[in-house]
Amino acid sequence: MSRAFNFSAGPANLPTPVLEQVKAELLDWHGSGMSVMEMSHRGKEFKSIAEQAESDLRDLLNIPSTYKVLFLQGGASCQFAMVPINLLRGNNEADYFNTGQWSKKAIAEARKYGEVNLPVNSESNNFTNVSESKHWTLNPNAAYVHYTPNETINGLEFLTIPDVGDKILVADMSSTILSRPLDVSKYGLIYAGAQKNIGPAGLTIVIIREDLADGAMPNMPSMLSYKTHIDSGSMSNTPPTLAWYIAGLVFKWLKEFGGLAKMGERNQRKAKKLYAAIDQSEFYNNPVDPAYRSWMNIPFTLSNSDLDKSFQAEAKVAGLLTLGGHRTVGGLRASIYNAMPEEGVQALIDFMNDFAKRKG
């Protein structure tokens, strides 16, 4: 059975070599007589897996030694609460950029713990653009500035790191991390759900500057404190061991591919080709300002929305899966994360051209 091209926004497709290695090691990891799923997270076997995964991630992102890396549960949605709980640090104010559905969720959670200012609010233009930085009104009293570099649903992305001066910058990088080189030192904290570019669902990566790790609000559950997880090496409770192991294999795959610079070049090529196919056709449309178009998640509409279901059904027959838009916005969407090869994007473009000729 041949594998289809899966354009799901998450859980997303994984690199085929990684899945093949998981299959080969599933019953017996490296002669241990155990599956990774059966290992004690405190045993020497899994400790070696965990340490290697962190080492490879640090190499890929060139993470400074002054930052801690955590492998947690709870998804990015749990981080929506953990960020203000830990980073308000006696303050009551934070800045949040509102650029899409995931930003809105983070903002709603942060408002439970303090006042939220919105220096950027793209809701009025339906999350298709971002105001120029000269129009941003950052709160001088804000404890930190939070933004979502890539909005999975709306397909809007910051292609450069926002300049927020000496403020602590926090980013939800769930759908863009590892897609290209990144200067981690520009951030106080980065978090990312794994199910797009890192590995299977169930794992969340947190990269936090060490000096920010001991400021949790009093009387909060200990499991919501970053210091708790730092002190225990991400093992305050049983971690998502299988997801951690597979993430480690993805990190190795990225290193063998040539690193994030080479991956970034491929991702840019994929996005440019697909946007060109959309822009050159009167049958398809992408509403996002080209200066903020996502490399990872490309929403598009048909000139006749009544054909959406037909498009998806025929695409599935052609081996192109999960192209429906998010339920909150409709339309169509192609997510082209690291594991999507260039031939998958070309197969989608060929199908789109053929569909437009027949239905347009």
Catalytic residue among 102, 244, 253, 295: 102
C-alpha 86: how far from chain center: 21
What gap in Å lies between CA 39 and CA 233, rounded to an integer? 17
Sheet containing 284-285: order of strands:
284-285, 297-302, 332-335
What gap in Å lies between CA 178 and CA 336, rounded to an integer? 13
Catalytic residue among 172, 253, 270, 295: 172
Catalytic residue among 196, 252, 270, 295: 196
What gap in Å lies between CA 236 and CA 226, rounded to an integer? 11
316 is catalytic: no
Is residue 112 classed exposed, middle or buried when 0-12, 13-18 and 19+ CB atoms within 10 A define those classes? exposed
Beta strands in the chain (DSSP E): 5-6, 67-72, 93-98, 115-121, 145-147, 150-151, 156-157, 169-172, 189-193, 204-209, 284-285, 297-302, 320-321, 332-335
Give the residues across from 172 on adjacent strands: 191
244 is catalytic: no
Q: Which residue has the tokens 């093949």?
A: 20
What gap in Å lies between CA 73 and CA 41, rounded to an integer? 14
Which two three-digit tokens encode residue 220? 């909060």
Q: What backbone torsions phi and psi does residue 118 show, to the nearest 5 degrees? A: -115, 85
- Alpha carbon of 119 to those of 88, 107, 140, 208: distances in Å? 17, 12, 11, 23
C-alpha 162: how far from chain center: 18
- Can you state the angle between helices 241-257 and 260-279, rounded to 10 degrees? 90
29 is catalytic: no
What gap in Å lies between CA 41 and CA 203, rounded to an integer? 14
Torsion of CA 243, 247, 253, 254, to 10 degrees: 150
Annotated catalytic residues are: 102, 172, 196
